[in-house]
Structure formats: structure tokens, C-alpha cells
Structure 1
Amino acid sequence: MSSDICDAVPDAKPGEAPDRESIPPEPASSSWAAVFSLAVGVFGLLTAEYLPTSLLTPMAADLGISEALAGQAVTVTAVAAMISGLLTATLTRRIDRRVVLLGFTVLMIVSNLLVAMASNMAMLMLMRILLGIALGGFWSMAAAVAMRLVPAALVPRAISIIFSGIAVATIVAVPLGSYLGELSGWRSTFLAAAVLGMLTLVFQLFTLPRMTPRGAARLGTLWEVLRRPGFAVGIVGMLLVHIGHYALFTYIRPALENVVKVDVDELALLLFVFGVANFVGTLVAGWLLQISLRLTLTLTPALMGVAALGLALLPAGKVGYMALVVLWGLAFGGVSVAWSNWATRMVPDQAESAGGLVVVGVQSAIAGGAAAGGVMFGIGGAVTVFTISGVLLLASALLIVLRVEAPRHLATSQETD
């Protein structure tokens, strides 16, 4: 376990790129065990976020509330994650990053334990807010911490490993939660999530190095980061990609049932295959990013757009449709990895603030995409959703090619002109 390698660095002036001296040096060696501990942390947080989706009915019955109200346990978590993602870099700017990350893991454990003991709606919501704080803060720091655990050339691979926890949680959280809920009750499922959190905490205690805070992030830093050359237009591109995806994903079930004509068993299998493809895509993106960030940023929405339009407009047959779903899953696996890498390369001296803006953008896009998809679905059903979203994804790919800056490498203070 190595000690930290750099103290705080000065901020760039508003609207200007950082000079070389403001960018911290890269670590001399890799801490892959720490990287994997962060991946496990992301998996635990996302699993806990998704659990109510598969447990709404028993939770609502036990607490004496409607399923619609119980479903707000997911909403409050997302809102809290947005706020936490924005404020974490500012509120924790003087605290060792190791301590902050361990604190978020402790919050996850406490949240799951107390949700399992919740006797009313108020307690349930309060504990889910705690989870959202942990989720948004942890996610906003992930890419910045990866920069401190491995040399610059290996950062894309490290971030792809960390964010593979999202893909794995997407695959296993809902079916595992449903299975455990049927087996031993919904409260036991959250207790199991708390146990996973405890194991994660031990793993992180033994692997995460001390990381003294860098920079002097304040609320104004967020605005300064947005004013950096090329950053705001990149955020617009990122929003369009995520809105397009989540408009699609919200209505994946009716699309598969009505367009692909799958039955219930085939639907479950196809959703599982989509999740596996998403996980593979996350890992492939780590390799692709080492070749070209711009290619990865552009290729992912382009492939998703092709898949969406193919599902909506082509008479591809069941096998062809399934291949398009796999293509969609593979492509989306690289989206979070690519944009997190983009943020660290664009603003290496304020990577945590940039990460917070990425978290807010993604969470906003989830809500916006679902809402836009609902309007389109009401107008013309799943085919309309997939057609318009496919066009939006292709348009976002074009915007990225023409307007989004994509630095070739993660800059470090060791580089010379």
C-alpha cells in the first residue's frame, strides 16, 4: 500500500485549460487490488439501488403502502445521488479520499441494515436517501481515484473495471433480489446487501491507499469546469446519448414483446443476454479507449442508433432482432466508461468536480429519457420510441465527431511539451 504522491494543486483560471504544472503526477505503480475493490463497491451500491424494483409488492404489503409509493424508494435514491454527485468534491475537499470512499461504503451498509428494519415509509425513504448520497458521491469520485491508482496509460482499463460493477449489478440485482425475496423475505434481501457491503468495506480497508485531497473544489469550481473550452458541448453530447438510451431502455419490454414477438421465457433470456453483452462491452471499451477516445465516444451511440432503427424498421427475423439487442448491449457497455474517461482527460486537475457533473448529467438523462420515451410511446408505441431515439443517437454521434473535443491522452505533470 503506497502513500499519496501529491498535495493540493492550484485551480485553472475560469474558462481556461489548466497549465501543465496544475496537473498532478501519475503514480509510479499500479494498485489493481484497490481498483477491484472500487468495482465491488460500485456493484454493491447499484445492487442496493435496484433491489426495490424486484421487491415492490412484498415491501408495499408489509409497510401498508401502495406499490406506487414504495417505488419512490428508487426515485429518492436517484435524486439524492444527483445532489451528492454535485456536492461531494466541495464538501469533502479537505478529507483523505480513502476516508471519503470508506465513509460512502459505511453509509451503504447502514442504509441497507436500516431499510431491512424499516417499520414505516418515512424511515424507508430516509435510509434510501443515505444510499443515494453514497451512490452519487462514490460514482463522482471513481474516475478521479482511478487516476491515482494506476499510471495514465492504464486509466481507461482501470475505469472500465470499476464501471463493470454497474453492468454486473444490472444483470444480477433484479433476478437475485426477486429470488431471495421469495426465499426468505424482502428484509432478508436487504440484510444480504448489508453483508455484501461489510465484505466490501474490509476489502477496501486493506487495499485503498491514503489519498490526500487535491485541488480546492468549491461550488464555484463546477461553473469554472463547465466554462473550460469544449467541456460544455461535451456534456451536451453525453446528455443526448444517455437520453436516447434511456428512452429506449424504459420500453425495452414492450418492444421485445410487440416487435420481436418473444414470449415470457424468451424475454427473460434476452434481457439476461443484453446484460451480459453490456458487461462485455464495458471491458471492451477499456481496450478501445487505449486506441482512441474519439472513436469510442462516437462508435457507442452510432451502434446503439443502428440497433434501435433496425429493431424498429427492419424485417430482421427473431435471430436478427436478438443480434441487434446484443449489439445494443455491447455498445451501451462502453458509454459510462468513455464519458468518465473523457471528463478526466478534459479536466485532469478537477477530475472530481467533472465527475460530479457527469453523475448529474447521467441521472438527469435517465429521468429525461424515460419521460421523453413515455411521450413517444403514447403517440406511436414502441416503434416510434425506437425510431426517434435511434435518430437522436445517430445525431449525437455526428455532434461528437464534429464538435466534441477528445484529448488523446490523460495529461500528467510529468509530460513535457
Structure 2
Amino acid sequence: MPVPPPPKHAQEDQAKWAAVFSMSLCVAMLIASEFMPVSLLTPIAASLGATSGQTGQAVSISGLFAVATSLFIATAAGRMDRKVVLVGLTAVMLASLVIVAMAPSFTVLMVGRALLGVAVGGFWSLATSIIMRLVPEASVPRALGMMYGGQAIAAAFAAPLGSYLGDLVGWRGIFWALAPLVAVNLVWHLVALPSLPTHQRQSLRSFRVLLARPHFRTGLVAITFTWGSAFTMFTYLRPFLETLEGVDVQTLSLLLLTLGAAGFIGSALSGRIGTGRVERILALPAVVMGGTTALLLLTENSLVAIGVLLAIWGAMNTAMSVIWMSWMSRVVDDMPETAGALMVATMQAAILLGGVFGGLLLDRFSVDASFVGSVLLALAAIAVIGRGNRLRAPTGQV
């Protein structure tokens, strides 16, 4: 007998999760593209005649353009179907990879990285609000965990593969290898994403409305310190590891793989966040990541201890985004696109400042100074968040 087709609601559910998977792949490509220079920092600098600190700004410049794009993408897109916007942003990412791979100079490299920032800022500012439209409210944390699973995939494989393969085929070959994957993702968007029309035009006034809420403003300050701490350290992880005795290319790749693979654990655990008060755990990323960064400075002679600490850091790095975006989906669910734009702008600004701050400390003092700066920013984040009471939405506001 012929097998009956699944019920219509089951088909709709499958289609929704296929769209979430498509966004997860886009996250993986964005993260791999944005932070690939971290694992290739030294060879890129040598090839283009720049210092490691200057080349670290290749991460920072994408953050600068991501900030601007995240603030204005929803307003600029107006009532345009959000599916069309995501497809267009993926095409911009593809163009960026080609420009970087062909870059004859540091200036052209930075142009390509600026285009990537446009894709990053546009995607992230809309991503959470789109997830909220794709799945039921109760499934939002799970869907966010799945989407940020793409971050775990990129962290697990992009950095170590970039470090290892870059030694074999050169750093340009790595960016060329990413281009066809992004092209496949673009096609998947076209197939899997449903039409996502929007009936309201976002105005700049909505930013003022949202920023008038004290708990959200406090959250943005906490995000600045939390992400700034993470990327003051992470941007300069390879130079730090290269100062350790016994770390060759293979060992470096293994350590980066350990950090990235642990992201799967962070993604799985953070996706299980319930409907309780997520503000209670908002300080956890700063506590764990700041603590592990401090311990890295104290265990420079033990590669095993460093591997364990990087695994802990990597797990929390993935969980960090899910935790904060879950908080956003609950406390400002009446203005998700505006909240997403402001949060992504703040995160990208913090990545930018973290890269600049860490680079200045590295060039002026040492890579250890960059890690100390990261710890200090983590302490500032913990002080702002406290027990999370100031980040709780007043009853009846959302």
C-alpha cells in the first residue's frame, strides 16, 4: 500500500526547520568568513607587509561596517520581503570572499572586509526577529540554539582548518574555498526560506522608544563589556599560542579545534534554556570566559591545561549569543527588529573596540597585556549585570 503523505502541519513544521537550518549554514559561513583572519593573522600580515596588530583590524573593520548596517538595514529595506534581503546579504558575503582572495594589497583586503561587515550586520540584526516568525514562541530558544550551532561548526572547523590548510595552500586558497559554500547557501535560502513580508516600516524613532527602557539600556552596556572582553582576547589568540613553547602548526590547529568543537556543547546546552528568568545567567559568559582568560596567563607551561581552558572558553562563547538573544526575545518581543538592530550594533561595536584595544596592547606591550585587558573588561561586565535584576523587563511592558 502507498505510504500516506505526512499531515499538512507536519510538512509546514519541516519547512520551518529547513529554513532554520539554512540560516544556521549562513551563520557558519558568516562566522568563518569574519574570523578567518584570526587563524591566518601571521601569514596575512607577512604577505601584505603589515604588522599582526594592523592585520587584526581586518576583523575590526568588518565590525565597523556591521555596526552601521545593523542600525539602518531595517529602515533601508523598508517593507521589502525579508527573504529577499537575506538572499541579497548572502550575495554580498560571496562578493567579499572573492575580493579578499584576490586582494593585491592591504587596502583592497580591507575593502573586502568592509563588504563582509555589511553582510554580517544586516544578517544578525534581522536573524532573531526572523526566527521568532518562523517557529512558535516556545521553540525560539531551541531554534536560536540550532542557528548558533552554525557558529559552533565554524568555530570547530574554520580556525583549525584555516591554520592547517593555510600552511599548505596559502591564506588566499582558504578564502577561495569558502566561496562555493556560500554560493550553495544562497541557493538554499531561495529554496527553504518562506516569503517574509513586513507590513510596518521601521523608523529611527523606534530606536528612541526602545532606548528609553532602562533594562534594555543596561543590557546594551553589559553586552559592550562582555563582547569587548571576548574579542580583546580571541582576536589575538594565535599570537598568544605561538609564544608558547612546543606549539607548532599542528599543535596550534589542534588547540583551535578543541576550542571550536566545544562550541557544540555550548550550543546544545544553551538551546535548552527554558521559559524562566534568563537574566539570572546573563553574567555567566563574562564570569567563565574572563576566568579562563586569566587562567590561560597562569598556565602557559601546560598545553593540556590550555586545551581544557580553551574548550571551556569555546563552549561559553557559543552559549553567550544564545543566552543574550533569548533574553532579547523575551524582554522586547514587541519590537524585535529594532532590538535586534541595536543589540547587533552594540555587539559589533564591542568586537571592533575589542580588536582595536587588544591590538594596541599587543603592539605597545605584549600579547599577555591583551589578555589582561580582556579580563578587566569581563570584570566590568559582571559589575554591570550583577544578579540580573536591572535587566528584567517591568511587568506589563512587553
Q: Which TM-score band applies after superposition, normalised by the shorter structure?
A: 0.7 to 0.9
**RMSD over equivalenced CA pairs, Å:** 3.6
Secondary structure of the 1:288 match is: coil
CA contact (8 A) 2:259 2:310 kept: yes
Q: What aligned pairs does 1:145-184 form with structure 2 within 5 A after superposition?
A: 145-177=130-162
Distance 2:42 2:233 in 1: 25
Are residues 378 and 111 of structure 1, via their aligned partners in 2, closer, same or farther at CA, if it must alter by over 3 Å?
closer
CA contact (8 A) 1:82 1:136 kept: yes
Distance 1:37 1:168 in 2: 13
Distance 1:102 1:284 in 2: 30
Q: What aligned pairs does 1:114-125 form with structure 2 within 5 A after superposition?
A: 114-116=99-101, 124-125=109-110
Distance 2:323 2:31 in 1: 19
Distance 2:305 2:159 in 1: 27
Q: What aligned pairs does 1:283-298 form with structure 2 within 5 A after superposition?
A: 283-288=268-273, 290-298=275-283
The corresponding residue for 2:179 is 194
**Paired letter, 2:390:** V
The corresponding residue for 1:268 is 253
CA contact (8 A) 2:299 2:305 kept: no
Secondary structure of the 1:94 match is: coil
The corresponding residue for 2:33 is 48
Q: What are the Cα deviations for residues 55-108 of structure 1, in whole angstroms up to 9, with x where unaligned?
A: 67877888xx53457766544322221211111111112101111111111222
CA contact (8 A) 2:228 2:353 kept: yes
Taking only the aligned residue pairs, the percentage that are identical comes to: 38
The corresponding residue for 1:66 is 49
The corresponding residue for 2:391 is 405
The counterpart of 1:106, out of the listed 65, 84, 91, is 91
**Paired letter, 1:274:** L
CA contact (8 A) 1:301 1:331 kept: no
Distance 1:242 1:328 in 2: 13
The answer to whether residue 208 in structure 2 is matched with residue 245 in structure 1 is no
Q: Please give the TM-score of this superposition, normalised by the length of structure 2.
A: 0.81
The corresponding residue for 1:305 is 290
Q: What are the Cα deviations for residues 144-184 of structure 1, in whole angstroms up to 9, with x where unaligned?
A: 11101111111111112212222322332244345555655
Distance 2:175 2:237 in 1: 27
Gaps of 5+ in 2: 1-11
Give the paired residue count: 381
The answer to whether residue 333 in structure 2 is matched with residue 348 in structure 1 is yes
Distance 1:184 1:280 in 2: 31
Distance 2:132 2:18 in 1: 14
Distance 1:308 1:186 in 2: 27
CA contact (8 A) 2:65 2:117 kept: yes
Q: Please give the TM-score of this superposition, normalised by the length of structure 1.
A: 0.77
CA contact (8 A) 2:66 2:118 kept: yes
Distance 1:295 1:98 in 2: 34
Are residues 206 and 395 of structure 1, via their aligned partners in 2, closer, same or farther at CA, if it must alter by over 3 Å?
same
**Paired letter, 2:20:** V
Q: What are the Cα deviations for residues 241-276 of structure 1, in whole angstroms up to 9, with x where unaligned?
A: 112222333454565566x76533544322221121
